[in-house]
Amino acid sequence: MNERDHISPEDLSLYAMQALSESEAAVVRAHVETCSVCRDEVAQAAGDLALAALSAEQHPLPESARQRFVERVAADAKTAGRASDAPGVPPVQAKPIRRIYASVQWSLVGAMAVLAFAMLLKIGDLNREMKKLKADEAQQTAHAARAQQVLDVLTAATAQHVLLTAANAHPVPGGRAVYLASTGGLIFQANNLAAIPADKTYELWVIPADGKAPIPAGLFRPDAAGDASVVLPPLPSGVPAKAFGVTMEKATGSPTPTAPILLAGAAPSAGE
Amino acid sequence: MRAGIEEAIGFYITRRHPYNTAWLPVRAHSMTDHPSNPVQAQDRTASINSASSAGDGRGGPGDETLLERVKANDQTAMTDLFDRYAGLVYSVALRVLHDTGQAEDMMQDVFFQLWKNPGSYVHGRGSLGAWLAVVARNRAVDVLRRRKPSHPVEDVVLAANTNLASDVERNRMMEKVREVLKGLPSEQQKSLELAFFEGLTHAEIAAKTGDPLGTVKTRIRTALISLRKAVQA
């Protein structure tokens, strides 16, 4: 390597002193790693730094600094299991005993560390399992409580039973007839009936099971809510009914039903 | 200058990240002359004397002996090393940081790292005191740069030498270094001061002083060479 290949001594001194910029230091570092000549020069320059360090004015140590260091070392020796020498004991004689003792200590420390680590792992597993069980238990408890709530609502005597329908749906007219043929007793209740003109009326009909002509069973008009009822109209007794029907007739009624039949319902057999 | 005391002993390379506290010293290659090196490595090594077995000048154990005992978990030996070099490390850190609390924290940390990992310093091939002084300086500069981020230098190669185990020789070396620096031109003193103790890059120094970059580089280099020559005289 000729001279041109080397870093200048000035830069090597600055490099040893960390007084180059990062980029400059990177160039020097790359060169020094492969150039023993410059590496040695850096070593010399660094040796010069030790001399420069001696120019620093000497100051006494802060109070108790020595004591703090001694205590720190003693604490470390105690923590790490390092044994201190007894005063007056020749180091050469003390070494084998201390080394054996230290070896045993370190072995014990190592074994305890392994055991502690294994126990930590086991504890971790148990903790995870316990957490899972607790989570399952909480989930089951929540499910049971919800089921009980459902049951309580359904069976409560004070519960309100409400049928909800579409808010803007047109109500469907309907009627329920309870008829006792043996006495001719009839109770009819209708709801959701459409309003009818003033000259019209609804008329209920009993359709005899023997095929004879329908029997008028009463006139009625719905109220504002569409509800209406016919209770015990004058009917012959002993006429079994096959069906019931409702038609719209003139206000005074009609002896025969006029189409269309607005409501109709087949009567089940007696007792059904 | 008495052989074995004030001369450079060996060379170490510590490769570290600027903010990494781990020390990873590696034995440097044997010295050879750089083409532009005004001081011949042969001249340096001729006066090098190992400090590994040198004591503290008062009959106390040498650094190597103490470090071996530290490796054997001898707290007393660690305390002896602390007593020997804590003042130097603290003073260097304080000179850079200008904060007694931070300087002590750094000093404590440097020695505690040595206690935790005494093998980070490869004894027998250099001076522990010089190595600690350079480590303290570089770590203090790292703190400075972290406080005011500029251009952190990564993967820096460092070296340290000079036996400082003896109080007498250490004081004599300090006195001599100060004398040499005092005799330098003020521009060289200032440039070295800004680079070494203030942690400025040469570009920052040039910007601060208004001098050309090349001039700043030359001044720093010349100041360091003057120090080197003075201790080898």
A136-161 tens-digit pLDDT:
888 888 888 888 888 888 887 777 77
Closest C-alpha to B12, from A214, A40, A24: A40
**Residue A109 half-sphere exposure toward CB, CA atoms < 13 A:** 11
Cβ pair B98, B105 in contact under 8 A? no
Residue B122 to residue B143: CA distance in whole angstroms: 25
Q: Does A52 contact B35 at a Cβ distance shorter than 8 Å?
A: no
Helix (H) or strand (E) holding A174: strand A174-180
Q: Does A85 contact B76 at a Cβ distance shorter than 8 Å?
A: yes
Q: Does B87 contact A10 at a Cβ distance shorter than 8 Å?
A: no
User: Residue B230: is its pLDDT beyond 80?
Assistant: yes
Per-residue pLDDT, A103: 62
Second-level CATH architecture of A174-266 = Sandwich (2.60)
Write down the domain spans for chain A.
Answer: 3-52, 96-126, 174-266
Which residues on A lie below 8 Å from B138 (Cβ)?
Answer: 18
Per-residue pLDDT, A168: 63
Tokens found for residue A16: 């040893």
Cβ pair B144, B96 in contact under 8 A? yes
Q: Does B73 contact A77 at a Cβ distance shorter than 8 Å?
A: yes
- Averaged pLDDT for residues A151-176: 76
**Helix A9-16 × helix B213-232 angle, to 10°:** 80
Contacts of A204 (CB under 8 A, 6+ apart): A177, A186, A188, A216, A217, A218, A219, A220, A230, A233, A244, A245, A246
Residue of B147 and A229 predicted with greater confidence: A229
Of all residues in chain B, the one with the smallest CA distance to A76 is B116
B186-223 tens-digit pLDDT:
999 999 999 999 999 999 999 999 999 999 999 999 99
A30-74 tens-digit pLDDT:
898 888 888 888 878 878 888 899 899 999 999 899 999 999 999
State how far residue A101 is from chain B, nearest Cα, in angstroms: 12
* pLDDT category of residue B54 using cuts at 50, 70 and 90: low
The backbone torsions φ and ψ at residue A90, rounded to the nearest 5 degrees and listed phi first, read -60, 130
State how far residue A19 is from chain B, nearest Cα, in angstroms: 4
Q: Does A49 touch chain B (CB under 8 A)?
A: yes
Residue of A46 and A217 predicted with greater confidence: A217
User: Residue B83: is its pLDDT beyond 90?
Assistant: yes
Q: Does B195 contact A14 at a Cβ distance shorter than 8 Å?
A: yes
Q: Does B177 contact A48 at a Cβ distance shorter than 8 Å?
A: no
Which residues on B lie below 8 Å from A56 (Cβ)?
Answer: 91-92, 94-95, 197
Which residues on A lie below 8 Å from B12 (Cβ)?
Answer: 43
Contacts of B226 (CB under 8 A, 6+ apart): B180, B184, B188
Residue B137 to residue B194: CA distance in whole angstroms: 13
Per-residue pLDDT, B108: 95
Per-residue pLDDT, B31: 31
Q: Does B156 contact A18 at a Cβ distance shorter than 8 Å?
A: yes
Q: Note if the bond before A260 is cis, omega within 30 degrees.
A: yes
- Averaged pLDDT for residues A169-189: 88
B148-197 tens-digit pLDDT:
434 332 333 445 556 677 778 888 888 889 999 999 999 999 999 999 99
pLDDT, chain A, mean: 82
- Averaged pLDDT for residues A238-265: 92
From residue A149, give the alpha-carbon distance in Å to each of A140, A142, A153, A154, A157. 14, 11, 6, 9, 14
Second-level CATH architecture of B12-165 = Orthogonal Bundle (1.10)
Per-residue pLDDT, A223: 92
* pLDDT category of residue B45 using cuts at 50, 70 and 90: very low
Residue of B80 and A39 predicted with greater confidence: B80
Write down the domain spans for chain B.
Answer: 12-165, 184-233
From residue A40, give the alpha-carbon distance in Å to each of A6, A34, A45, A65, A163. 12, 11, 9, 37, 100
Residue A6 to residue A28: CA distance in whole angstroms: 9
Residue B200 to residue B198: CA distance in whole angstroms: 6
Per-residue pLDDT, B228: 86
A99-108 tens-digit pLDDT:
455 566 777 8
Q: Does A99 touch chain B (CB under 8 A)?
A: yes
Q: Does A86 touch chain B (CB under 8 A)?
A: no
Residue A75 has a CB neighbour count (10 Å cut-off) of 10
User: Residue B121: is its pLDDT beyond 60?
Assistant: yes
Q: Does A56 contact B92 at a Cβ distance shorter than 8 Å?
A: yes
ipTM of this complex prediction, to 2 decimal places = 0.73
Q: Does B203 touch chain A (CB under 8 A)?
A: yes
* pLDDT category of residue A209 using cuts at 50, 70 and 90: very high
Q: Does A51 contact B91 at a Cβ distance shorter than 8 Å?
A: no
Q: Does A91 contact B69 at a Cβ distance shorter than 8 Å?
A: yes
In chain B, pLDDT over 70 holds for what percent of residues?
A: 65
State how far residue B100 is from chain A, nearest Cα, in angstroms: 8
Residue of A176 and A87 predicted with greater confidence: A176
Compute chain A's Rg from CA coordinates: 55
State how far residue B17 is from chain A, nearest Cα, in angstroms: 11
Q: Does A56 contact B69 at a Cβ distance shorter than 8 Å?
A: no
The backbone torsions φ and ψ at residue A179, rounded to the nearest 5 degrees and listed phi first, read -125, 130
Which residues on A lie below 8 Å from B131 (Cβ)?
Answer: 50
CB neighbour burial string for B157-191, b if at least 16 within 10 angstroms, e if fewer: bbbbbbbbbbeebbeebbebbeebbeebeebbbbb
Second-level CATH architecture of B184-233 = Orthogonal Bundle (1.10)
Per-residue pLDDT, A204: 95
Nearest to A39 among B28, B156, B201 (CB): B28
Q: Does A61 touch chain B (CB under 8 A)?
A: yes
Residue of A153 and A241 predicted with greater confidence: A241
Q: Does B128 touch chain A (CB under 8 A)?
A: no
Of all residues in chain A, the one with the smallest CA distance to B219 is A10
Of all residues in chain A, the one with the smallest CA distance to B161 is A47
Cβ pair B137, B89 in contact under 8 A? no
In chain B, pLDDT over 90 holds for what percent of residues?
A: 39
Max distance between CA atoms of chain A, in angstroms, equals 141
State how far residue B206 is from chain A, nearest Cα, in angstroms: 12
Q: Picking from A17-31, A246-260, B101-115, which range would have the lowest pLDDT averaged per residue?
A: A17-31
Q: Does A77 contact B174 at a Cβ distance shorter than 8 Å?
A: no
- Averaged pLDDT for residues A112-122: 84
Residue of A26 and B8 predicted with greater confidence: A26
- DSSP string over chain B: --TTTSS----EEEEE-TT-----EEEPPPP---TT-SS-HHHHHHT----SS---SSSPPPHHHHHHHHHTT-HHHHHHHHHHHHHHHHHHHHHHH--HHHHHHHHHHHHHHHHH-GGGS-TTSS-HHHHHHHHHHHHHHHHHHHHS---PPPSEEE-------SHHHHHHHHHHHHHHHHHS-HHHHHHHIIIIIS---HHHHHHHH---HHHHHHHHHHHHHHHHHHHH-
- Averaged pLDDT for residues A79-99: 44
Task: Give me the count of residues in chain B.
Answer: 233
User: Residue B101: is its pLDDT beyond 70?
Assistant: yes
Q: Does A52 contact B90 at a Cβ distance shorter than 8 Å?
A: no
Per-residue pLDDT, A33: 85
Which residues on A lie below 8 Å from B8 (Cβ)?
Answer: 47
